[in-house]
Structure 1
Amino acid sequence: MHIEPNCMFTGGQGAVNLDIVLHERDGSTVVVTQNAYSCPDSIQTTEQTESIEFRITSVGAIAWGISLRADDSGDGSLVGDAPDIIWAPGELDQWWQVLTLGPPSFQGNLGPGDFVDVFAFNITEENGSYVRVDTIGDSAASYRLLTLNQETGDVENSTDGSMMIVPPGTHALVIEIGDTNQTVEYHFSLPYNGPYEPEGGEYLDLSYRAKNFYIFAGIFLLSPLLLVIWWNRGAIFSGAPLASDIEEHERRRLRRLRERLAEALAEETVDESEVEYALRQMGDSPWRAVVQDWGEPLLRHMTEQIEICVWRISEGDATLLLGIRVADEPWELAAMRVHAPEGAKVGIAAVSPSRLFQGDEIFLDKMPADSKMFLSLTLEGNPSSLGFQLSGLVGGQPLAAVPNRVLDWSD
């Protein structure tokens, strides 16, 4: 800042030797004048100047007087500019003015090269106080109230000068403007708004008294989930789809395929291309969806290697739908035999899609792992019951899958 000193010494010129020294915050000094007879017309302090020292020496007794006039009134009650940084923990000193909460107002200015002023204020109430900034007059300056961690100095909360609860300790008020070439004055106060009073009294943690109840309630509430997981363990642990995974459009498609298959086989002249199309489309659909659409099979056989299902396509008809689902190992040289344990001999009249067959046996050849196939079988003969036997090579070893019951075919 710019200071104009006015010095008066008795004894005439040369009666005194005058040194003027600026003391900086970092402990260094700046010599303004040395061995002078009088004060200079002006003194220009630096941004780090804390105090000005006048050293007067004389050879005899003299009277002297010094007065100082600054070109501005300073920020707040400080002589000069307020700091533009927040103090480090434990290093708050006279460099920062500590504002008082209450009626007193404070003034200052910001301008070119001086965009930020920082003030401190103390909160002594045990539970903290309500603090806000009350601006006086119009100003382009903005205000920020900052609550500081008293150990680390970190900012824990802030407002734009509006009301906030500030805990005990020393906290900061920051006043700032944008980059401007204009001088902006500010005028404000920090009214005392009373201590913060927490609602309620002390609370006791009695949760330990209900520990056994919490354990019982947790098990009781989770038991339905455990039951659902058990019901759907196949879908969860082996990746099988849930019933809800089968979309409605898939249901409609399978229903339409079933109807088309039944209609095609009911014609006097069977349209083989229509039958094959329906069966191949069913083979591309999820196995579970087909089983749900066709309903409970007349015969079902499940092992780790294979699943076999048999449905009657339409009542009174000698045509069956045979579904085969292969597990995670392929079958080689597979063949399906349809035999009659009781009653007249049974034979195979037609197979769709086209497969080699002879008598009561169909040659299926290779069945890849994780594959599905659906065959339409038209039987001849009048057996009272039907049996099925699938045979082939699995892992190079012969294997047969024979359902443990027969299909009643008397109707």
Structure 2
Amino acid sequence: MQHRIAAILFGTILAMSPFLIISGNASHGGVQVADEEALLRDISLPSGESISVVFSSRTGGFWVDADCGGDCRDLVLTVSDGVSENTATITDNAVVKGQLVEGVAWLNLSNTGSDSLNIDIQASLPELNSLGNADSSSTRDSAVQVNSFLSTSNLAETFAAKTTRGGIHDPSATWINATFNGLDSMYWLIDANVSDILELSLLHSSADVELRLLSGDDGNQILASLSSQSNSSSSTAPQRVWKTTTNNHTWLEATTTTASSSFSARLAAHESIDNWPATGEVNDVQELHEESATFYGLLSTGDEDVIMVNASGPHLWKFTTSSTTALDVNISAMVDGIWVPFLTFQGLQSDSAHNSDSSIWTPEATALLKVSISSLSEETGIWSFDVMRTTFGDLDNSTDANGAIPMNIDSAMENWDFIELKEGVSHTGWLSLPTYDGADTYLLNLEGWEESRYRIKLLLTADNTRIIAELIEMDWSSRTIISNSSTIIDDGIEGVTTLEVGEGTHLLRIRSVELMNGEGNWTWGDVNINPIPWTIEISSIQSEEGIEPWFEAEGFVSQASTGLLYFLGFLMLTPIIWVIWTNRIYSRRAAQLAGDKERLKTLRKMIAEGQVKQAISDLKLSLRTIAALDWEEGVETWGEANIRHRTVAVDLAVWKLAPEFSIKGGVPVLFGVHILKGTWQVAAVRFEVSAGEHWEVISTEPRFLSRGDEVFLDTLSEGSRTFLKVELEGNGTGLEVSMSGLVENKPVAAKHTGSLRLEEE
């Protein structure tokens, strides 16, 4: 019944694998697909249980040797093919040999004892996909059929298949299971080109056997050989060799001195080295996107492979090499633009399987790592190089915190990190003692008012290491410590300290006691010295509120206010600048007019010539301009006045103007006044009628406040000169002019005794 179930399962998944295992409660568990080399090892068979290995067989001889740890009397081992069944002979081991026909075959194991059995099996089974006697020839005849051997071009898969027992091997290599059957030698012609890489492994043999790789048309050149002098043990590690072909004809030769001996081997034929994955060039920098990476390569005699790795910053690096041959490995680091040798180790110094582990620390100024790998033997070999980087950064950063006390507050703000003061929030970091990183310094920012006080609480956690944490209240103006408080962890794992400080920026320092006391007697980068991890929780409460300022100006407010002051200052200066500029213009204009006497005659002439608008415009300009001249010079510039009245304190003058100077249809006159003494306040000039209705002032130029026949001139200082054009409206026949005001708070007045007839030209 068990064989029938196996046959059904075999038919459904035969294409997946050459071997199928059917088990009850054995450690392989249920139905599994497996590789022969792994399948037949470490089988745990409980009492009363059985296990069957089902495979598709070619016609040929087989050999099975089971090791039960020295006593196989409770083991029943049979090999059957549906035609015949072969039962093992039981001694210390269980051994069975025989012939199988093509079809389904079973390897059956049963435990008849009361104790569990642990079984290791070595075997040569004519499995369908393996090469055997039928594929060989008895002589080296180049005309025979060429045998193709499988391989994988992915080195990662090759190293993934590495086990302590199996060593580095290609998991896709072709199996060779053969029995001599009276022959003393067999030959397989290998399908390989010049410079291809052959991987040959000898796994098991029932007696003495020698395998050789031969090159040349007649096979007279020996490339490599492997041999077993007797029956191999199930615990014997496979023998393996890698070789480069030198001729288009390459043979695998198997010889023995024992008739009917069997062996199991594997052979992989890899394409030439040019088709293998490149291992790195000097100018091809590998980026570590994760914290580790693995590189693979293949070396022929005299070759050198180079790996360049981006290694910026201070890190701990661990390197692991595995290879099929002894290697010479040199590691250098580019520090400040210079290549510095860091580490050299050889495969001869590693274990017998050519595995090596090494570690180094790199300085902060490191930019690149260069790994040079070459072979120490004449054999072809493959290698893997594992790179693992460990970063000991602070506060979740990849960089190390600054450890010194800042020189001043500006330097602190620019180059040191702030740490958050919040209860329940943890901060972590490292003191990398191997690189003499013995201190981490952080800034504490406490915002408040003058005389505000705060109490800081610090909880430090470390793992039984000598470490101290210190709170420091700083006076940055003198770079002195106002007060400080610290906690040290020596034998315990936690420490607490508190400190009361004022508002501002203060410090937290975490230091190694050993380095602080000068006890660091190790060399830089000693990988036997462990970094110290630390964790802190830091919080603060305000104990005194302090004095709140009237206005707490932010930085941008101060900058804005400074700019505003400059702007307002400019606005305030603008009128002065304008007055100075216009006075300068008027002075220049006045100087020009001073040479042009009888200005009113000139203006009348312009009117007579039809230039009325130009004359009116010139009159407006002249009113201000001529006022800049000396009074007498100004009067002469206008021409002879129609009315002139002078007292000790004031000098008055009136000129009649042509009707064309009227803007509103009134009677235009020109009035001028020169204050000779004192300052006239509330000064006013009155235009009185000699006969008829009162005059009414309807317009002045420049504009002054007027009411009825009065024009109010406000305050006239001593020495001032004022000219204005006045338009009068009314039916009067004469004009009398008077002026009044206050001088030193006393009323004063001046009036011309005569009358001016306005209808006269």
User: Which of the five TM-score ranges fits, normalised by the shorter chain?
Assistant: 0.3 to 0.5
| TM-score normalized by the length of structure 2 | 0.20
Structure number with bigger Rg: 2
* Greater relative contact order (CA < 8 Å, ≥ 6 in sequence): 1
| TM-score normalized by the length of structure 1 | 0.35
